[in-house]
Amino acid sequence: MDRIADIWGPRTPHPRGTVWPARVDQYLADGITESDVDRWVLSACLLCSNGCGCDIAVKDGRMVGVRGRATDVVNHGRLGPKGLYGSTAWAHSPDRLTRPLVRENGELVETDWDTAMARVTEVSRRLLDEKGPLSHGFYTSGQLFLEEYYTLAVIGKAGIGTPHMDGNTRLCTATAAASFKESFGADGQPGSYTDIEHCDAIFLYGHNMAETQTVLWSRILDRTRAADPPVIVCVDPRRTPVAAEAERTGGVHLAPRVGTNLALMNGLTRELFANGWVDEEWVARHTLGVDDLRAVVEPYTPDEVARICGVDADDLRRAARIFGTSGAVLSTVLQGFYQSHQATASAVAVHNLHLLRGLIGRPGSGILQMNGQPTAQNNRETGADGDLPGFRNWDNETHIRELAGLWNVDPLTIPHWAPPTHAMQIMSYAEEGSIGFLWISATNPAVSMPESARIRRILSGDRCFVVVQDLFLTETARLADVVLPAAGWGEKTGTFTNVNRTVHLSEQAVEPPGEARSDLDIFLAYARAMDFRDAAGEPLIRWRTAEEAFEAWREASRGRPVDYTGLSYAKLRGPTGIPWPVNEDAPEGTDRLYTDAVFPTATDYCETYGHDLLTGASVTEQEHRALRPDGRAFLKGAAWTPPHEETSDEYPLLYTTGRTVYQFHTRTKTSRSRSLNDAAPESWVELSPADAAGLGIAEGDLVRVESPRGSIEVKARVGQVMPGAVFAPFHYGSAGDDPPGQANELTMTVWDPVSKQPYFKTAACRVTKLRDGDGPAPAPTTAGSAPADAGVPPTEGGAATTSRSVPTPAYPNDPGVS
């Protein structure tokens, strides 16, 4: 099969309530056959948040392919195009970083580890002496392993004592975490992928799953193409494959105007009240705030929603009826809501719909606030993103004392006098110079953060010493003072947790190239060099290996919602990943949370006391305690407000960015896979046929897109986006290119008041044609970026993209997949 052309692979439809049939997808590099493979090594795919279980093929000390694990609960053997073609291709790329680099006379030059680490620790010690812990910031990733995040969290919070820690999870999954905390008291995905097998309807809010989690979409297609399919409702301003499936299943495609998600959600919520689709008894027993919510949504009649959002009032009514009358509803949410205006309020509104109907904790009635990145969940769990480890509350003295006891440090060392500093604020402090030491690991903010020109200025300026550790000399690494070469997936051992809480062990398959080291080893080397000590004078970090770090983390998670105490590396070497909590009560893991309708909202246990969703103002401990939530979930609402930047005569179109099927994040890995890169080699923008015609633009023409912050020059795809909107894929960096083509040149430094997620999806722009094109835009034809013009040649992979579905291999201790 050419899985570039056939993104989701062949269908295996099956009846409701039955197990998703296994299908083992495999890809081996050109010229390699199964008999050539020396060994298969346990892992899971690290190219999106789905976390598909897989084995890595090794030959002669090199990674040469991957095979899905039939026994894994996540993917039942399947892999998507990125997993198949992108998992190993980068590893042997000739431009891998193999030695540390330091900046000398303005140039990055190779050096040895001792010199590079000495440069890092000299600046770190000096700033700690002169300015204290607030001079330090750490900006990490959604792609490290749990053990690495936890080690970094302990270094930052107990070694240095800085609140300035965050990850690029702020640009993706922070809103998922924030919305869970607001509704249920703590982070934690309530639902399960098995809900797909049991539901009557699936609502996808701002979630183009068909491209962002292709294997999960296969799982949905295998239900929608069966005899008793669920109906799909899609909320998206583009006509994506999800939107097409909504139409095919008799559901609804709602395409709200960019920046109006919350008005739409308020309209759906009002319909539940207006039509008596609320389970009053369940709501009275298990929730707080229903009267306030009813009052907030009352003005959002279908006609008013139609006016604000530009959707048909009857379509809104139909979608609400599907939600209000289906026996079991699964909801999934992603960047279309998170990276948009009023992000947390919109994500919380999804919870409200479920709570009003009591559709939670039951088969088929899941909520999946999705993640973009594969290990974002672990960053949130361990506290490398600024939260405290184990979903503890920074504002709860008892939680601080627990951590201080665990690490044997003075509680005052652990920063907890104010909320943790979020990524955009860390960049502002670096801009002002109060943060003089910024360590960036496994992420590429020069491409992924909003307002790129500003980020480049901050990272290349002389106010902040920048350390970058990565696999390649990324656009960000090129601006650093010290660059540390890191080992990647398959070159190190560790665990990570996918979006539905399933923990996988990924074992080291091969040695890293040259002098590259695992991120864990790099953090441990820094801790040793800085000589961080606990209150007894013993080394603060007592672990040396990934497995020891995992055991330390297990203790940190004890008794918390994210309880790993029943997990071990030995257990994770079984046939499947295991969803947390795993403990004495649930030794085999937990498929679905809140089956007893008891939520972690007790004042002494919760992760946050909550916020006002409109302003972000914090609820105090006293206010929270007075509400006596005691296990009841919060129903919270907010009025819609217009987005920060609206269209004008100067900038008449709405600009929105997003993810596409063949690339992952800023393409650090996927651009080095020939198959993936050839399918979408350069950036583009998408216009509706109506707007393109009005501007005299045809498929493939070179256009300039401008916002008040910058401009890009790329080819135009006349495609599926709604009239009035312009879509740009966010993956493509262009440092040094003139003119620039990266989408974030145009986005702005504004964020959601609760989750602090920047707005990537609401800005104003104008588009001008520069010249006629010499062929179609470099955009794929296979999914949401499909052209309006049927004459554009289809995206195909060619000979190098042949993958196979193979017979299910025999695994030791195989209990089968359920």
Which residues lie near ligand SF4 (CB under 6 A)? Answer: 45, 47-48, 50-52, 75, 79-80, 82-83, 213-215
CB 56 → ligand SF4: shortest distance, Å? Answer: 13
Residue 679 or 722 with smaller CB distance to ligand SF4: 679
CB 217 → ligand SF4: shortest distance, Å? Answer: 8
Residue 79 or 635 with smaller CB distance to ligand SF4: 79
For residue 377, give the nearest of 672, 72, 220, 145 by alpha carbon: 145
β-bridge pairing 62-68 and 24-28: antiparallel
Residue 79 or 283 with smaller CB distance to ligand SF4: 79
Q: Report the C-alpha gap between 646 and 652 in whole angstroms.
A: 8
Report helix angle 519-530 to 146-154, nearest 10: 20
Long-range contacts of 393-398 (CB under 8 A, 24+ apart): 393/606, 393/607, 393/608, 393/609, 394/419, 394/420, 395/608, 395/609, 395/618, 395/621, 396/604, 396/621, 398/604
Surface-to-core class of residue 78, CB atoms within 10 Å of its CB (0-12 exposed, 13-18 middle, 19+ buried) = buried
Strand order in the sheet with 107-110: 107-110, 101-104, 482-485, 465-470, 437-441, 136-140, 165-167
CA atoms within 13 A on the CB side of 94: 0
> Under DSSP, is residue 465 helix (H, G, I), strand (E, B) or coil?
strand
Residue 242 or 278 with smaller CB distance to ligand SF4: 242
Q: Which residue is nearest to ligand SF4 (CB)?
A: 83
Residue 66 or 446 with smaller CB distance to ligand SF4: 66
CB 4 → ligand SF4: shortest distance, Å? Answer: 13
Q: How far from 93 is each of 74, 484, 670, CA to CA, in Å?
A: 29, 17, 11
CB 797 → ligand SF4: shortest distance, Å? Answer: 15
Residue 50 or 476 with smaller CB distance to ligand SF4: 50
Residue 79 or 400 with smaller CB distance to ligand SF4: 79
Residue 398: CB atoms within 10 Å: 10
Residue 82 or 761 with smaller CB distance to ligand SF4: 82
For residue 631, give the nearest of 391, 190, 285, 293 by alpha carbon: 285
Task: With beta carbons less than 8 A apart as the criterion, state whether 451 and 749 touch.
Answer: yes
CB 810 → ligand SF4: shortest distance, Å? Answer: 22
CB 258 → ligand SF4: shortest distance, Å? Answer: 26
Q: Report the C-alpha gap between 74 and 334 in whole angstroms.
A: 19
CB 214 → ligand SF4: shortest distance, Å? Answer: 5
Strand (E) or helix (H) holding 526: helix 519-530
Q: Report the C-alpha gap between 694 and 415 in whole angstroms.
A: 55
For residue 382, give the nearest of 467, 487, 494 by alpha carbon: 494
Residue 64 or 79 with smaller CB distance to ligand SF4: 79
CB 46 → ligand SF4: shortest distance, Å? Answer: 7
- CB environment 268-307: b (16+ within 10 A), e (fewer): bbbbbbbeebbeeebbeebbbbbeebbebbeebbbebbbe
> Under DSSP, is residue 249 helix (H, G, I), strand (E, B) or coil?
coil
CB 216 → ligand SF4: shortest distance, Å? Answer: 6
CB 577 → ligand SF4: shortest distance, Å? Answer: 11
CB 116 → ligand SF4: shortest distance, Å? Answer: 32
Residue 26 or 50 with smaller CB distance to ligand SF4: 50
> Under DSSP, is residue 578 helix (H, G, I), strand (E, B) or coil?
strand
Residue 217 or 759 with smaller CB distance to ligand SF4: 217
